A and B are shown apart, each in its own frame.
Chain A
Amino acid sequence: MKPAPFDYYAPASVEEACQLLADAGGGATVLAGGQTLMPLLALRMSQPFVLVDITRIRALRGVSRSGATTRIGPVTRQNEALADATLQQHQPLLVTALRHVGHHQTRNRGTVGGSIALGEPAAELPATAVALGASVEVRSVRGTRTIPAQELYFGPYATALEPDELLTAVDVPEWPAGTVSLFREIAMRPGDFALVGLTGALTVADGVVTRAGVAWFGMGPTPIKARQLEAALVGQRVDALDAGALTELAIADTAPFDDLHATAEYRRTVGRRVFAAALGEALNLRKAA
């Protein structure tokens, strides 16, 4: 470790943290689990003037329920979330996604809020938040606001959070009974960010899709909400669903690009297959159940 100099604060309250962020005038970075930030600091690829370590703010940790919403404190470690009974019962898609986040060792440190606030476009949690219609609560000395996850991401690592704002909660709506999860990830190695990833939920009532939330990761500069697919799915009878016929719509909203590991064409081709397989699997599971 040989980061550039910074002032380090470990506030005990959200108010204190927000004041520190405000005082830093945009020069502060929030440290949570550090699984991305610490290597960047060590290599001096990130050089903040002020580091605000929020891991000692107890109020930002843990899972709670309020009405039909699950609230996850952003400093909740990913492995804590994985083992959380409330999430297992009410947010099965999120738990599935968490299993694909990094490795057991990194999940011991990495936080749910850290992953969602970072905005890695090939990461599991931001896309899952988008798919489920989650929102984040952010606070600053200027006040509190709520940002829907689907409005949070502008580009790789670029979010709607202002430099003085702190993510204080992730609110995930609980989907009704009869909801099935869609989740598939294609990565170079287990634990890597996705080459192609699909995450989503479908609610089926009386054999008809009543609600659909689907998002892609690794398929563009941000998590990509599959709006056209969702629109096409809602109202369809499940036994009449033809995954093959929906594949073009499924990837219609994506904007993949070439990088060192795969081409855009690869991502689109595999994306179609990932969607068809995930949908087929979800509906089969439902039939079996």
Chain B
Amino acid sequence: MDDARPAATTGRYIGQRVARKEDTRLLTGRGVYVDDVGVPGMLHVAFHRSPIARGRIRSIDLSAARALPGVFALVTADDLARFKVDMLSFFLAQPVVPVPVLANGRVTYVGDPVVMVVAQDRYLAEDAAGLIVVEYDEEDPVVTLDDAKTGALVHPDTDSNVAAATGAEELDEDLEAALAAAAHLETLAFRHQRISQSPMETRGVVAQPHGSGELTVYLSCQGPQLCARWFAQALELPQTSIRVISKDVGGSFGLKGQPWREEVAVVLGAMLLRRPLKWIEDRLENLTAANQAREQEITLRAAFDAEGRLVASHADYGLNNGAYPQGADSNIAVMMFLWGAHKLPAFSFRARGWFTNTVGLAAYRGPWAIESLAREVLLDRAARRMGIDPIELRRRNLIRRSDQPWTTPMGLELTDISPAECLDVLLQKVDVAAFRAEQAAARREGRYLGIGFATYIEPTAGSTGVAVLMSESAHLRVEPTGTVTAVVSTHSQGHGTQTTMAQVIADRLGVPYEHVEVYEDDSSRGGYGSGAYGSRQAVAGGGACIRAADLLLARIRESAAHILGVRTDDIVLRNGVLHVTGDKPQTVSLRDLADIAYGDPDRMPDGHAGLEAQYRYRPPPITMTSAAHACIVEVDAQTGFVKIRRWVTSEDCGNMINPAIVEGQIAGGLAQAIGSVLMEEVSFDARGNPTAVTYKDYMLPTIFDVPEFEYHHDASMPSQAEGGFRGVGEGGCIVGPPTLVNAIADALIPFGELELELPLTPARLLAHIEQRPEIARPKPAEASEAPAPAADAPADPVPVAAAAHNVPAPSAPQEPFAPASGARIDGGWKFVLSTPMGPQAFDGRLATDGDQLSGVFIMNMDEAHFTGTVTGNQLKWDLKVTKPMKITLKYEAVVEGDTLTGKCKMGVFGSAKLKGERVKG
């Protein structure tokens, strides 16, 4: 942790719109994507996939496919049984349900890979895949969130379709009373449609085994270091034997944070067959079998006092996890940031992720973005109903700079957010009064203009609570030729980290930008880092580059001073030349120094050769970016089409490395926001068949749909991080949707409050304008409705110890806490706690002394001791923790035989299931 706040800086390169290092390569077709990789002896993979969403595999007939000349192998789940594979989440947590690499006995979504075909070329592989005959016993699928609540179990070995849950299962009476008693209660309930990340480059992998049991994996991914670690841990291979190479990437947007089923199948296939294998996902596969995102429902209630100040709020949230999510998730970040920038005294929530027979959940740029959409749309509605200007309502509730430090009810400690100040800047650029006059005049002509505002804060470059996201590394060296090579754990997805990291290094070191080359494409070089994840690269990667450059510069100056016999302080490196002042003024090129450093080390200080430095930088726990956006639209009341006339952004992303790249990030996120609001939707029919399977039906915004954006950067408050940078990778995709929705709703207010049914297609908007019911949609459950667990799924795991044994609960009510005579508690246990970040496994010991309990949890080379009480087989204890935040965890559990079942109450975060198995012997 680094507490010194650096001054705002722009330098020779930092803060400048320098030309991107990547552009010549990428714009002239010389990029190297996975499909450009070929290795000798490479075979090609195609998958035979399930045509049904749910069923049992009765038989697989491979005979016709096997007879096809050129087919090398047909790989099924049985063939992969020899490998032990844990399909870890992005956080490297164990999956909540085992995720088979290939369908094993059952298929769980349309597109579920059943057989991997390996053939001489992709044509033959596809031919063979078409000749495979699989017979299924088809079952009725669980497709929607409503299906998940009432339908059959998606995974028969589980006790409910709840994949993950956080928050309070029961409504808080005090909070409900506060909501009911307030001067104004606003409720917003809506569903967010499912979105495909749709990277221009689909997923792809080339897995090349080497004779010694080593593997080189060419992978389209967000970070080769993290993916190499993932493979090593998931496949229990030594990490030294896995090398992941990922040169150019055509976008990921969260989809490629980790390898998933197909990539793993290809790697295992290469190990099994001892041949290099290649698979490039086609667009049909990408739109149907690559994991997807969003599909959520939320009911948000917020109460205000008579002056429009927030009093209390409650959110009820559901997230479709599909069958095999890349980490079962109830999306705690939604709740963390829903009111993260607002003065809200009381908040509670219930959030659940649900399994369904659809393709699994992955991240998508701003995975928690629905918090901003729900909040900002609700604020506009509340403002209209209370008769308060929507900007004024925001100002009354936003936490200003002068209010900080501030701790939110969710434990977020804020020191330097500035959404209110960004809104101030925005309002200097947008003349609202003039717009309102124009709007009124237009309405008289039957033209409907609208303006929408939204503010948000974005957590970037987190380095707390998530073990895979702590730090980034930079290794720098001056080559013997005098140029600088940097190996950094960042990873460009096409957005230019080779440029930004080179800017930082060149600036800090004092060498020409052209003399710095950045490498970030190979897990065997440099050090661990997560790559393009969580808007972290400018902050964490940039910080690492600054620190490493400072170390290298010190080494350069000390070496030069030693060689020249001058004082270190008399040496400055500028534009690649060492300038010596003082008694012996002269200039020495960095190349001449490097010549000596490598060729004549006896002249170096202490005789050490070379000019090299490395630094692993951990940024502050969280670096907040703030923004306010405004958008002006015209809605054609004849056709329901939306024309975006103006879009103004005002953000505080601290010091900028390259404003053009910052603006590219904002614009890209906003393009995706426009797509989400107006046209994109992954849809399914009632049998779980995807219905938008090509780009004819899955509508992405084009250049015609995305306006020129106006940018206003406020860099007056550098972040606490080295360099003062803040992340900006996801913001447009978070703040864009509410900005646009609010503008459309404002335009159409003469026709009443717009019901938020995404996407807001022309047909839906025209239906609103003409007050017609349009396509019927399932409505999100009302918050007051009792939880509706599956019939055989107990909502509360504690009383039904039998659930842990996967046997049905007896139909007669069971006495929950009846003392079980002779229940043995003392001894060693293996525990699994289902945390919001995924299941966490650890060891522990319990000991009883009469009605006193003592125990210890042992994890990560650390011990947590606790004491509690015993009543029969019922245990209770508290555990105070300080990380990731200060909280008292309240445990309750019952012991039945060799099994412990219970829960951990985590304050406002709700309950997590605890399971324990006795350590035998």
Residue in B639, B681, B691, B697 with the greatest tally of chain A CB atoms within 10 Å: B639
B103-132 residues at the A interface, CB under 8 angstroms: 122-123, 126-127, 130
How far apart are the CA atoms of A266 and B640 in the complex, in Å?
Answer: 9
Knowing A39-B694, A188-B679, A269-B766, the reply to whether A44 touches B126 (Cβ < 8 A) is: yes
Within B859-905, the residues touching A (CB, 8 Å) are none
Interfacial residues of chain A within 26-40, with CB under 8 A of chain B in the complex: 39
Q: Are the CB atoms of B126 and A4 closer together than 8 Å?
A: yes
Whose C-beta in chain B lies nearest to the C-beta of A42?
Answer: B282
A189 & B762 in contact (Cβ 8 Å cutoff): no
Let me know if B23 is at the binding interface, CB within 8 A.
Answer: no
- Contacting B639 at CB < 8 Å: which of A4, A193, A273? A273
**Looking at chain A, what size class is its interface with the partner chain?**
20 to 34
Are B123's CB and A190's CB within 8 A? Answer: no
Indicate whether A249 reaches chain B with its CB closer than 8 angstroms. no
Given A5-B123, A190-B702, A266-B767, decide whether A260 and B639 contact each other with a Cβ distance below 8 A: no
Of the stretches B550-558, B595-603, B768-776, the one at the interface is B768-776
Residues of B463-515 at the interface with A, using a CB-CB cut-off of 8 Å, are: none
**CA gap between A44 and B772 in the complex, in Å:** 40
Structural contact, A265 and B772, CB atoms closer than 8 A: yes
B687 adjacent to chain A (CB < 8 Å)? no
- The interface residues of chain A lying within 8 Å CB-to-CB of B691 are 260
How near does chain A come to B676, taking the closest CB pair, in angstroms? 15
**B705 interfacial contact with A, CB 8 Å:** yes
In Å, the complex CA distance between A237 and B271 comes to 81
By a CB distance below 8 angstroms, the chain A residues around B283 are 43
A262-282 contacts to B, CB under 8 A, are 262-263, 265-266, 269-270, 273, 277
Contacts of A212 in B (CB 8 A): none
Q: From DSSP, what is the main secondary structure of chain A's interface residues?
A: loop
> How distant is A116 from chain B, measured CB to nearest CB, in Å?
19
Q: Given A186-B639, A188-B679, A262-B761 in contact, is the A43-B282 Cβ separation under 8 Å?
A: yes
Which A residues are CB-close (under 8 A) to B46? 2
Q: Name B's interface SS.
A: loop
Question: Residue A189 contacts which of B694, B702, B766, B767 (CB distance < 8 angstroms)?
Answer: B702
Interface residues of A in 223-254 (CB under 8 A from B): none
Cα A152 to Cα B772 with chains together (Å):
36
Contacts of A142 in B (CB 8 A): none
Indicate whether B692 reaches chain A with its CB closer than 8 angstroms.
Answer: yes
> Chain A contacts of B774 at CB under 8 A?
263, 265-266
> A44 contacts which of B130, B679, B696 (Cβ < 8 Å)?
B130
Q: Which of A189, A263, A277 contacts B704 (CB 8 A)?
A: A189
Task: Write the chain B residue with the least CB distance to A258.
Answer: B775
A261 within 8 A of B: yes
B414 located at the interface, meaning its Cβ lies under 8 Å from any Cβ of chain A in the complex: no
Contacts of A192 in B (CB 8 A): 699
Instruction: Give bound CA distance, A265 to B640, whole Å.
Output: 13
Q: CA–CA, A277 to B762, complex, Å?
A: 18
Let me know if B686 is at the binding interface, CB within 8 A.
no
Closest to B125 in A: A2
Query: Bound complex: CA of A140 vs CA of B743, how far in Å?
Result: 58
B763 within 8 A of A: yes
Q: A195 within 8 Å of B by Cβ?
A: yes
B763–A261 touching, CB < 8 Å: yes
Residues of A within 8 A of B126 (CB): 2, 4, 44
The reply to whether A5 and B775 contact each other, CB–CB distance below 8 Å, is no
Whether A270 lies near B282 (C-beta < 8 A) is: no
Is the beta-carbon distance between B763 and A2 smaller than 8 angstroms? Answer: no
Asked if A260 contacts B681 (CB within 8 A), the reply is: yes
A270 in contact with B639 given A4-B127, A195-B762 (CB within 8 Å): yes
A248 CB to nearest chain B CB (Å): 17
* Cα-based distance from A44 to B283 in the complex (angstroms): 12
The complex places the Cα of A189 from the Cα of B698 at a distance, in Å, of 12
Tell me if B701 counts as interface (CB < 8 A to partner A): yes
Are B638 and A270 in contact, with the CB atoms below 8 A? yes
CB neighbours of B638 from chain A (8 A): 270, 273, 277
Q: A189-B704, A260-B681, A260-B683 are in contact. Are A266 and B282 (CB under 8 A)?
A: no
| Across-interface contacts of A195 in B (CB, < 8 A) | 762-763
Kindly list chain B residues whose C-beta atoms are within 8 Å of the C-beta of A191: 702, 704
Tell whether A189 pairs with B705 under 8 Å between CB atoms, given A265-B772, A273-B638: yes
- With A263-B775, A266-B767 as given contacts, are A188 and B704 in contact (CB-CB < 8 Å)? no
State whether A189 and B640 are in contact (beta carbons under 8 Å apart), knowing that A4-B127, A44-B126 are contacts in the complex: no
B639 touches A2 (CB 8 A): no
Does residue B284 face the partner (Cβ distance < 8 Å to A)?
Answer: yes
Residues A261 and B766 in contact, CB atoms below 8 Å apart: no
In contact, B127 and A260 (Cβ under 8 angstroms): no
- Please indicate the chain B residues that have their CB under 8 angstroms from the CB of A260 in the complex: 681, 683, 691-692, 697
Which residues of chain A are near B639, meaning CB under 8 Å? 186, 270, 273
- Distance A195 CA – B766 CA, assembled complex (angstroms): 13
Looking at the assembled complex, report how far the CB atom of A32 sits from the nearest CB atom of chain B, in whole angstroms: 19
Measured in the bound complex, the distance between the Cα atoms of B867 and A278 in whole Å is 81
- Can you list 9 A-B pairs, Cβ within 8 angstroms, ordered by A? A2-B46, A4-B123, A188-B761, A189-B699, A195-B763, A263-B763, A270-B639, A273-B639, A277-B638
Interface residues of B (CB under 8 A from A): 46, 122-123, 126-127, 130, 282-284, 638-641, 679, 681, 683, 691-692, 694, 696-697, 699, 701-702, 704-705, 761-763, 766-767, 770, 772, 774-775
Not counting A4-B123, A43-B282, A263-B763, a sample of 19 additional A-B residue pairs whose C-beta atoms are within 8 angstroms of each other reads A2-B126, A43-B283, A43-B284, A43-B694, A186-B639, A188-B762, A189-B704, A191-B702, A191-B704, A195-B762, A260-B681, A260-B683, A260-B691, A260-B692, A260-B697, A263-B775, A265-B767, A266-B767, A270-B766
